Structure 1
Amino acid sequence: MKFNLKQKTAIVTGGGSGIGQAISKTLAAQGAHVHILELKAESAQQTVQEIESAGGKAYVHACDVSSHNQVKQTIQEIGVKNAIDILINNAGIAHIGNAENTQPADMDRIYGVNIKGVYNCIYAVLPIMKKKGGVILNMASVAATVGINDRFAYSMSKGAALSMMYSVAKDYLAHNIRCNSISPARIHTPFVDGYLQKNFPDNREEKLEELSKTQPIGRMGKPQEVADLALYLCSDEASFITGTDFPIDGGFIRLNGD
C-alpha cells in the first residue's frame, strides 16, 4: 500500500478542526497513531471519535503550543511510549491589519502561537526524532512569499515558519530528519464560513464568490486537498524531499496578474 503509515506516531497541532482535522483523519486512515494537540481538548473530541469509528487510533492532549513548558512536557510524555515519526505544525491564528493598526498585543499573540508555537514543538521533538529520524512539516502560507493586503503580522509569522523549515532541514540532514512546508492559499474551512456569516450576513454568497475568484483556478482549496499533500510529504514515498516549500494555491502565486 502506498503512503503506508502503519506503526508510525504522528503529532498534529491544531488537529481538531479545519485543515488540521483533515490531516489528522487522513494520517490515521493510513495507519498512523495520531496525537492531536489542542488548546482545549474538547475541541478535538469529535475528530478523535470519527477516527476511532473508522478503525483508526487517535488521542487528544490539552496543550497551549505557545507555552514552552507545556509543549515540552506533552511531547515528552508521548515520546516515552512511542518513537515520534511525524510532527505537523498546523496550529495557527489569523490577524487582519497593516503595520499601523497592528497593536503590540496583536503582534505578541501572533508571535506566541504562529512562531513560538512552531519553535516549541520542533525544540521538544528533535531529541526524540534524532534517535531514528522523522518528518517535520510546517504549515506556512502564500502570505509568506507574496504581499497580501492587511496581513502584516500574519505574513510575518508565516515567513518565520517558512524560514524555520529551511533551517531545520539543513541542520538535521545527518539525523535522517526531513523538514518541508506547505503554503496554502485560501482554503474553504468552517473558519471561512464563520467569518462570512459574521461580517457579510446579507451578501454572504457574493463575498464567497469574490474570495473564491482571488485564486486564478476560480475556487478555494479544500482541506482534504491539503491533507493529501501532507500525507505524501510525510510518507516514505517522499523520502527524497526535504527543505522545500509546497504552494497549494490554485495558481495564486504564479498566475495572478498575468
Structure 2
Amino acid sequence: MTELAYMVREDWGQDGTAMVPQSAVIRSWLGASPYMFAVERAEALVAGRKGGHQGVISFIAPEEADRVVVSIDNVRGSLGSDSVLEHPITVVYPLQDGACEVLQRMVRDELFTRVFVMIWNEHDLVKTWLDGLGATNLHTGASVAPTAPLLAEAIEMIRMAENNGLRGGRGKDAVVQLLRAFAGEGLPVDSATWVRAYFSGGGSFEYARDLKTLVDEYNRGVRHRVKAIYRDDIVQVLQERLAEQQR
C-alpha cells in the first residue's frame, strides 16, 4: 500500500521564512536521493521562481544531479519495466482534474511505495482527496480521522447510484435524500466531511466536484427536486446494517 504525505504551499513557505527547514522535513520523509518529481508540464518549468514548481524542486533537491523531473502524464512510461518503484515520488502542485486523476490512478495502482504532494492551496480538492486516504500532513505530523462507518455506508450507496453522475438522475436523488436523512438525525452534512468520505470510498475527482456543489447548495437552503429512492428511515436501516456486520 502506498504511503501518502503532503504539505500546503503556505505552510512550506511561511512568507519566505521556512522553505529550508520545511524542505528538510520533506526530505527526511522521502529518504535518500535521487528524488523524482512530477509536474503538470515539465517543459514549462521556470527557473528562479522560489514559490513556483522549480523553487519547490530546488529547495527539496538542491543538487541538480539528485533530481529527475517528469510530466505527470509520463510517469508510468518513465518507470520502464518496474511495476512498482521502491522509491518515492513528489508531485508538485497538481491543479487540473486531469493531473489529479493521474495521481489518483498512480496511488490506486501502487506504482510507488511513497507519494508526497506539494499542494498549492489548502482549499484545493487534491487536499481533500489526500485527507480522505489518510495522508500525513508533514507540517502538523497528523492525519485526518477516518470516515465514520455510518457515513461510509451512505457513500457506498451514492457510489452505487452514480453511473450517470451526481448532478442529476439517480445520483442526485441519492445524495439529496441521504443529506436530508443525515441532517434530520443531527449528523454532519458539511461538504468537507462528505467529499472527504467520498474520496475515501474510491470516488472520482469529476463526481467529487458535483457532490461538493450539491452539499453546499443543500446547506445554503436550495430545495432540490428529487425522487425518493430510499425509505424514510434510511439512517436506521444503515445503522442496523452496521450492527449486523459487527456481530
Structure 1 length-normalised TM: 0.28
Look at both structures and tell me which one has the larger radius of gyration over its CA atoms.
2
Structure 2 length-normalised TM: 0.29
